Amino acid sequence: MYKKVDWAKIRKDFPVTDNLAFFQSAGMSPIPAPVYETVCKMYYRLNQYGDISWEEDFEKINQLFSNLANLINTEGENLTLLPNTSIAFSLVALSLKKHFNEDFNIVTMRDEFPASNVPFAGQNIHIKYVNPYPDNRYPVDHILKAVDHKTKAIVTSYVNYSSGFKQDIKTLGEKARAKNILFIVNATQGFPVFPVDVEAMCIDVMAASLHKWGCAGHTGSLFYTSNAYRKQFPAPMAGWLSVLPPDYDFIPVQKNEKFKQYTSARQYNFGTMNHQVILGLKTAFEYMENIGFMNIQERIFEITDYLIEKLSTLPVKIQSPLIKKEERSGIISINFPGHDNHKITSYLKDNNVFTAIRNQNIRLSVNFFNNHNDVDNLIKVLKKYFSE
C-alpha cells in the first residue's frame, strides 16, 4: 500500500515546495491545496451569505470530533478544540491546584516545550524536572525515579520538540496508572503522524496543537480528557457554551441559578469557535487519511534515513537519538561544533532552505511532502557554506 502512493502528485498540493526546501513543519507545516480551498470557500460563503450555515457547520465539526476520536480510540464527547496547548494545560493546572489542597508536585522533562511546564509553574505548582541521558533520551525508568509520594501527575511530550526523541508513551502511561498518577501528554510533535491510543496508553489528558503535523494552519489544539478525569477535575472556568441551558431556551439565559456544566468535553467550550478554519482542519485530516497515516509515517522515515546518510558527509554532530527506530520521529537536530548555528541557519534561509534553531541546535523537521531533492539542496548549501 505504501508503494502505491504517488508522492510526486502529493507534493504538487504543497506549492511551498516550488519556492524552497522546507524543513520547518515542527514549527508550522504549510497547508495543502485542498485545505486552502476549503478555508477560502468557507470565508467566501461568510462574506456572501453571513452565517446562515452555522448549524450545518456545527454538525460537520461534531463529525470531525467523531473521526478524530476514532483515530485515538475514544469517543467524540471526550474531545474539543482549544486555542492552543498553553490554554489547555493552564486549565489542567487550575483544576489540579483547586483539587489538591496539600503540597504536591508534578514530574516533567528538563527540555520540554514551555507549553508543557509554564502553565503549571504559573499556578506555583512545584515541578520536578528530569534531566535527559547524555544522548537526549528519557527512558521510562529514569523518569519514574523522580516520582515521590507527593507526585500527582507526569507531564511529557510524545515527541520532544527539539531533539525529536519519541517517548514510549504506552509503557510510561501504564507505570503512571499503576502508581495512581495522572498521565498528561503533549502530543503536538507526534500526532497524527504517530499513532495514539488513549486507552492502551493510559492517557488521562492530551493536547496536540494541529498547526504543525496536522497541516491545517492555526486551528487550535486538540484537547482530550477522559471521563474519569473530568469527574474528578471538572473545568475550572465556565462560558456560555460550556453550561447547560434551561428547558425553555437553547442558551443559558437563567440568572441567580446554579449552572450545570456539560459532563462531556463540551464543558471546555467556553465560547464561539472559528468554524471556517476548523472545517479546513476537517479537510486536512480527510486528506491525510486518504494518503494513509502509516504511509505518511514511512515516507517521513524514508526521507529522514536519506537525510542522516547525507549528513554523514559533513562535520556535523547529530543530537537526535537514532539507535532505536521506535524513539525516532520526523525531527533531526544537528550541531556544527565550533561554528555559529544561527549564522548557518540564516545562510540556509538566504539560499531558500528553511530550518530552525532550537536549544542552540539546528532543527530539521521532515514531512511527507519533502523529497530527496530537498535533502540534496540542504546538503549542497551546507557544503557551500563550509567552503566559503
Which alpha helices (DSSP H) does 135-265 contain, by range?
A: 140-144, 169-178, 227-232
Taking the domains of the chain in order of start, what are their residue ranges? 2-23+292-387, 39-287
CA distance 310 to 304: 10
Q: Give the fold, CATH level 3, of 2-23+292-387.
A: Aspartate Aminotransferase, domain 1 (3.90.1150)
Which 3 state secondary structure label does DSSP give 104?
Answer: coil
Right CATH for 39-287 from 3.40.640.10, 1.25.40.20, 3.90.1150.10, 3.40.50.2000: 3.40.640.10
Place of cell 469517543: 75
User: Secondary structure of the chain: what % helix, strand, coil (to 5)?
Assistant: 40, 15, 40
pLDDT in tens, 8-53: 999 999 999 999 999 999 999 999 999 999 999 999 999 999 999 9
CA distance 339 to 101: 50
Q: What is the mean pLDDT of the chain?
A: 96
CATH fold match for the domains 2-23+292-387 and 39-287? no
pLDDT in tens, 312-371: 999 999 999 999 999 999 999 999 999 999 999 999 999 999 999 999 999 999 999 999
Which residues does residue 106 pair with via DSSP β-bridges, in sequence order?
127, 153
Return the beta strands (E) in the chain as ranges. Answer: 21-22, 79-82, 105-109, 126-130, 151-157, 182-186, 205-209, 221-225, 317-318, 331-335, 353-354, 356-358, 361-365
How distant is the alpha carbon of residue 189 from its chain centre? 4
**Residue closest to 292 by CA, chosen among 380, 382, 193:** 193
pLDDT in tens, 30-40: 999 999 999 99
For residue 140, the one-letter residue type is V
- CB 117 within 8 Å of CB 108: yes
Q: What's the alpha-carbon Rg for the chain, to the nearest Å?
A: 22
pLDDT in tens, 224-262: 999 999 999 999 999 999 999 998 998 999 999 889 999
- The two beta strands, 356-358 and 361-365, are antiparallel
User: What pLDDT band is residue 1 in, cutting at 50, 70 and 90?
Assistant: very low
Element holding 287 (H helix, E strand): helix 275-291
pLDDT in tens, 52-67: 998 899 899 999 999 9
Place of cell 479537510: 283
Using left for φ > 0, alpha for ψ between -120 and 50, and beta otherwise, residue 361 falls in beta
pTM: 0.95
